[in-house]
Chain A
């Protein structure tokens, strides 16, 4: 459900930028989503299709680039991709690893004419 809020923020951002850049029709929006957010691509696309109606983004393609999680152990500094939700270090078994990558959530670029 929060996908709706995220996509609304995305559309607001692109619409504002399109006006500034004198773009009348947006054809593609490239979004980067980190695994941390657990936002489902299908849900994002669904929200995008509905919320872009009547905007310069209507009918455009939403391309989603997923970024996988990368964690760093706070104890032994080992970097790893977690298996499951526990974020425990496969090297020393310490819990609470720090997030290095995977929390991205931004519009990379859009294309239009």
Chain B
């Protein structure tokens, strides 16, 4: 007996992601899915972002981590509402993991929610979490060929943050070549060339976040990518 199914494997995830998105929109919270390799500075970026946006936007962070709560503790010290998801070995967050974490967050109190995905440039790209925008983070210590090696995330990201540029003099990172590569993969995206340590370009990054959040407050829906 042959049974025709024709059903998308990601349909269960997509369904839950849709529910998450409705919840975000009803609470007028702008949600960013932050994706990068391990050690690229997601947590440092969020710590600094929280400092700079204090008094302007109410931030929340959902942190995905394989086992520890270290990142969550660091962000919490910056005065932000944090919920930890331990994926216990799973290499990406899924929409239902996020949905469970959201039960711990008062979304109506927030303007902007970051979902810090598990450090991984491949798997998280395939799983919609209900976010409004994906943002890629790339540190100069990883090498300027990252966009060419992992084009998927750079294709889907609305913005790319290049981090640790204070280390540029000590690496072989070819910034112009990297920027050109990003441009070729996805010319629609914003690029921020930053250092969490020196604060370089973080004001532009934060201004962009404020714009995104303001768009949501007025009821403009960012197209989900």
Contacts and interface: CB of A to CB of B under 8 A. Distances in A.
B5 A110 contact: yes
Contact of A23 (B1, B122, B187): B1
Contacts of A2: 91-92, 122-123, 126-127
A96 B126 contact: no
Contacts of B223: none
Contacts of B56: none
Given A88-B184, A95-B185, A105-B10, A37 B126 contact: yes
A70 interface: no
A38 B149 CA distance: 13
A53 interface: no
B218 interface: no
A91 interface: no
Interface residues of B, number: 30
Nearest to B120: A1
A13 B6 CA distance: 11
Interface string A90-113: 000001100000000111111111
Contacts of B123: 1-2, 5
Interface string A17-48: 11001010000000100000110000000000
Contacts of A112: 1, 3
B2 A111 contact: yes
Interface string B173-185: 0000000000111
Interface in B17-71: none
A113 B1 contact: yes
Contacts of B187: 95-96
Contacts of A96: 186-188
Contact of B90 (A5, A6, A87, A111): A5
Given A106-B5, A111-B1, 9 more contacts: A17-B3, A18-B3, A37-B126, A85-B148, A96-B186, A96-B188, A107-B9, A108-B5, A111-B3
